Structure 1
Amino acid sequence: MKRREARERALQALFQMELNEMTAEQAIENIMDGEEEAYVEKLVFGVTEHKQALDEKITAHLDNWKLDRLNKVDLSILRVGAFEMLFLDDVPDRVSLNESIEIAKVYSDEKASKFINGVLANIAKND
C-alpha cells in the first residue's frame, strides 16, 4: 500500500472515531478488512496518542476559527498532517503538507485545501 492510500485510510479511521464511540483498533479494523498496514496503524495510533498536543498546535495556527467549528474531515486531515510533521522524522514537512492538500481536494473542497495549506504551512514554519 502506498503512503497516500495509508493516509487516506487513516483519515477514514479517525473520521469514524470522531463520529462514533469506537476505539482506534475498531476503526482500523473497519477500514482495513483484515489487511495489515503498519503505516495506517502508526498514523491512527500516533494521532490518538498525541491528540491533545496536535489540537493545541492546530488551534495556535487557526485565525478567527475554533477547533470545534472545523468539520470533522478537515480536522482529521489536519491532525494526520500535523502528526507527520511534528512526530515523524522520516517524512519531510513538504511531503506531509502536499499530501494533506491533495487528500483535502478529494475528501473536502478547494476552500478546505487552501485552509489546510495555510494551517500546516504555519505549523511547518513555526514549530
Structure 2
Amino acid sequence: MTTLNRHQARQVAFQTLYSLEMNLDANIEAVVRQVLAGDPEIEISDTLPQDVLDLVSAVNDHKNELDLELSQYLAAGWTIDRLSKVDLTLLRLALYEAKSTDTPKNVAINEALQLAHDFTGDDSRKFINAVLNKALTQDN
C-alpha cells in the first residue's frame, strides 16, 4: 500500500481534484494513480491510499454545496465561475476538510496556503487566505 504523510495526501487529493475539474469524465482511481506515478518522491504500490480516494470522492460529491458556501465569502461582484480552477479546488478542499473531517480549521487553512505556495502566486495565496479566514474563523 502506498503510504503518504498528511501533506502528501492533501497534495495528491488537490492534484486529483484539479484534474477531475479539467476532465469531468475522468475516473478518480485512474487519476490518483497517474498523480502518484508523476511524483518521484512517492513510492507507489498496487493499492491506492484509501484516505486520498475517500477525500477526493467526498469533495467531488459535495462540490455544489461547497461552492454555495464559498460564494457567501467572495467580494461583491465575484462568483464561483470567475475563480481560477486552482484557487477553487484549494478552497473546496480546505473548506471540506475543516467542516466535515476532524482536521482543525487552522490546519486546513495552513495546508491550503502551503499548496497555494506550491501551485499559485502571491495574489492567489492572499485571496485564498482571505476567503478561508472569513469562512472558517468568523462566527457563522
Tell me the C-alpha RMSD between the 2 structures.
Answer: 1.5
- Which of 10, 18, 21 aligns to 1:18? It is 21
- Percent identity, aligned pairs only, is 33
Contact 1:105 1:113 survives alignment (8 Å)? yes
Aligned structure 1 segments of 4 or more residues deviating by more than 6 angstroms = none
How far residue 29 of structure 1 moved from its aligned partner, in angstroms, is 2.8
Runs of 5+ consecutive residues of structure 2 not aligned to the other structure: 38-45
For residues 17 and 68 of structure 1, the distance between their equivalents in structure 2, rounded to whole angstroms, comes to: 16
Higher CA-based Rg: 2
Q: What amino acid maps onto 1:71 in structure 2? A: S
Aligned length, in residue pairs: 126
Alignment of 1:35-46 (within 5 A): 35-46=47-58
Are the aligned partners of 2:16 and 2:31 in contact in 1 as well (CA < 8 Å)?
yes
Q: Distance in 1 between matches of 2:79 and 2:28?
A: 25
Of 83, 95, 105 in structure 2, the residue corresponding to residue 82 of structure 1 is 95
Alpha-carbon shift at residue 35 of structure 1 (Å): 5.0
The alignment status of 1:3 with 2:6, answered yes or no, reads yes
Q: Distance in 2 between matches of 1:57 and 1:126?
A: 14
Deviation at 1:40, TM superposition (A): 1.3
1:115 counterpart = 2:119: no
C-alpha contact 2:33 2:48 (8 A) present in aligned 1: no
8 Å CA contact retained: 1:82, 1:120: yes
How many angstroms apart in 1 are the aligned matches of 2:22 and 2:100? Answer: 25
Distance 2:115 2:139 in 1: 23
How much does 1:122 deviate? 1.1
Report if the CA contact (8 A) 1:24-1:48 is conserved: no
Larger helix share, 1 or 2: 1
Given that 1:9 and 1:40 are in contact with CA atoms closer than 8 Å, whether structure 2 keeps it comes out as yes
Structure 1 residue 36, shift from structure 2 partner: 2.1
Query: 1:26: Cα distance to partner?
Result: 3.0
Give 1:4 shift.
Answer: 0.8
Shift of 1:32: 2.9
Q: Which runs of 5+ in 1 are unaligned?
A: none
Is 1:73 aligned with 2:76? no
Normalization by structure 1: what TM-score?
0.90
